[in-house]
């Protein structure tokens, strides 16, 4: 250790760097300034600021904002965080009166307010992005209503569907994602400003006025809760994680279906990339990366939950760490939705490949269903058809290639006419309940989904 003074200096430098959040929270400068302008007006309203002082602060804040956006005010680490940076520059520009702005306010209610304004707008943007993705899916559904496709369970061909049924499944999951975000938005839309450090402001602020100025639907009802609460971030990240899981699962479908073995779909060439060694490769990178990015967003959710878990009430410096997962999830989801939308917009379904790979054993349920119409109990019919399928397997042929006599050997009801009627499209159309894969039902689903947009 050199002399005490230089050790002290080095510690100061270490700590300044360590606790500075400006590299991350600089992105809140606009909402921070918007919050401060509203706050200045609030102070003027209750006589803490004169009209002139308020005007001068407002003008100064706008000046700070334009300096930051033009890059002429450098947000360096020694400024600590965005709140201190804005205030410091404000005082430099308009003089000591700028120091009146923070009267009765704490960075604790300030940061919570900033985050809520920021998130409210972000959610609106994500909702719009999901809606455009849904439009792409709706168009895809419209153009694939008559494309038969194997429906899978356990990744084994199960029952024939129309491709549009799949597109609408993806669409429907996104609608729930929108619902979760809209619901979360209601709880984001509550103003903490006026809660001060945690006990509430000692100045008689008109909080309803502040809420109105900042477009909040309500004011927080308990100051201690208001500065402690980061539920709104956890909730948002949870909705984002679920959205990304949906995106990831559909991406996995596409990775499988675009493989040489399946060849059911082709993604736009711009969404695939080649290999540095194998000239033939067209890797489904877009879908793979979407699958990968979902892990990040799940991680962001876990970060915030872990961060908050052991914290006592009110603000703790740990909470400064809430922004990185929040911003990371916002950025990830936003780019993911762009790519995901592009995938659906340009997806090619290769119908003849699909047909050539469909196993007509998928029509077995229809045969069993038919037997029930002849009065055979379903469980018994299931056994009969399983035996027919086993026979086809033994002879290594399709259900429809089996000799009619084989059918009759299993059941008198399985005559040639019945077997001859087994068609993928008819099978799909028999699933005519609401939500089923019949043509009629899918058109109804599409019609209903149009009202979601």
- Please identify every residue annotated as catalytic: 154, 275
Decide if 73 contacts 67 (C-beta within 8 A).
yes
What is the DSSP annotation of 277-304? S-TT--B-HHHHHHHHHHHHHHHHHHHH
> Least distance to ligand ARG from the beta carbon of 267, Å?
41
Residue numbers 431-450 binding ligand ARG by CB under 6 A: none
Phi first, then psi, for residue 212 (nearest 5°) are -65, -45
Residue numbers 10-39 binding ligand ARG by CB under 6 A: 21, 25
DSSP 103: T
Interface with ligand ARG includes 56 (CB under 6 A)? Answer: no
The Cα angle at residue 224 between residues 223 and 230, in degrees rounded to 5? 100
By beta-carbon proximity to ligand ARG, the closer residue of 98 and 196 is 196
Interface with ligand ARG includes 107 (CB under 6 A)? Answer: yes
Please identify, among the stretches 311-319, 328-336, 346-354, 433-441, the one whose residues bind ligand ARG according to the rule CB under 6 A.
311-319
CA atoms within 13 A on the CB side of 5: 0
Interface with ligand ARG includes 315 (CB under 6 A)? Answer: yes
The Cα angle at residue 106 between residues 204 and 191, in degrees rounded to 5? 65
Q: Which of 320, 121, 106 is nearest to 192 (CA)?
A: 106
By beta-carbon proximity to ligand ARG, the closer residue of 86 and 168 is 86
CA atoms within 13 A on the CB side of 436: 16
Phi first, then psi, for residue 451 (nearest 5°) are -75, -10
Please, which residues have CB within 8 angstroms of residue 381's CB and are 6 or more apart in sequence?
367, 368, 369, 370, 371, 372
What is the DSSP annotation of 314-336? S--GGGGGGHHHHHHHHHHHHHH
Residue numbers 74-103 binding ligand ARG by CB under 6 A: 81
Please identify, among the stretches 90-98, 105-113, 183-191, 306-314, the one whose residues bind ligand ARG according to the rule CB under 6 A.
105-113
> Least distance to ligand ARG from the beta carbon of 318, Å?
9
Interface with ligand ARG includes 111 (CB under 6 A)? Answer: yes
By beta-carbon proximity to ligand ARG, the closer residue of 272 and 314 is 314
Q: How many residues bind to ligand ARG according to rule CB under 6 A?
A: 10
Interface with ligand ARG includes 264 (CB under 6 A)? Answer: no
The 330-369 site mask, x for binding ligand ARG (CB under 6 A), equals ----------------------------------------
Name the site residues for ligand ARG (rule: CB under 6 A).
21, 25, 81, 107-108, 111, 315, 317, 319-320
């Amino acid at each position: 250790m050199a002399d005490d003074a230089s050790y002290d200096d080095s510690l100061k430098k270490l700590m300044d760097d360590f606790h500075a959040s400006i590299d991350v929270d600089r992105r809140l400068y606009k909402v921070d300034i918007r919050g401060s302008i509203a706050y200045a007006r609030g102070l003027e309203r209750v006589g803490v600021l004169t009209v002139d002082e308020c005007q001068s602060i407002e003008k100064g804040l706008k000046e700070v904002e334009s300096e930051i956006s033009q890059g002429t005010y450098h947000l360096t680490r020694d400024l600590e965080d965005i709140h201190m940076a804005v205030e410091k520059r404000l005082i430099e520009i308009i003089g000591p009166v700028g120091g009146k702005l923070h009267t009765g306010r704490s960075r604790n209610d300030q940061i919570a307010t900033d985050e809520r304004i920021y998130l409210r707008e972000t959610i609106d943007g994500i909702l719009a992005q999901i809606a455009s993705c849904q439009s792409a899916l709706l168009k895809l559904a419209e153009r694939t209503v008559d494309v038969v496709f194997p429906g899978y369970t356990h990744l084994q061909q199960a029952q024939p569907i129309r491709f549009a049924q799949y597109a609408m499944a993806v669409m429907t999951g996104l609608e729930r994602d929108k619902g979760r975000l809209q619901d979360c938005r209601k709880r984001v839309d509550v103003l903490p400003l006026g809660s001060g450090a945690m006990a509430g402001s000692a100045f008689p602020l008109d909080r309803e006025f502040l809420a109105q100025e900042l477009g909040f639907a309500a004011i927080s009802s308990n100051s201690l809760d208001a500065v402690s609460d980061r539920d709104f971030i956890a909730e948002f990240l949870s909705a984002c994680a679920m959205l990304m899981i949906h995106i990831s699962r559909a991406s996995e479908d596409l990775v499988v279906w675009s493989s040489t073995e399946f060849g059911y779909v082709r993604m736009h060439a711009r969404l695939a990339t080649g290999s540095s060694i194998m000239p033939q490769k067209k890797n489904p990178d877009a879908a793979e990366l979407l699958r990968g990015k979902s892990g990040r967003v799940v991680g962001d959710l876990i970060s915030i939950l872990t961060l908050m878990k052991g914290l006592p009430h009110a603000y703790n410096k740990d909470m400064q760490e809430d922004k990185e997962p929040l911003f990371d999830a916002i950025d990830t989801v936003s780019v993911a939705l762009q790519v995901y939308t592009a995938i659906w917009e340009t997806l090619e379904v290769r119908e003849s490949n699909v047909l050539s790979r469909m196993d007509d054993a998928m029509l077995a349920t229809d045969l069993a269903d038919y037997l029930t119409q002849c009065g055979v109990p379903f469980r018994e019919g299931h056994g009969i058809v399983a035996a027919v399928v086993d026979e086809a397997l033994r002879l290594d042929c399709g259900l429809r290639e089996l000799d009619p006599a084989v059918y009759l050997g299993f059941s008198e009801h399985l005559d040639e006419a019945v077997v001859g009627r087994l068609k993928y499209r008819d099978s799909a159309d028999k699933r005519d309940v609401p939500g089923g894969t019949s043509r009629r039902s899918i058109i109804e689903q599409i019609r209903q989904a149009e009202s979601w947009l």
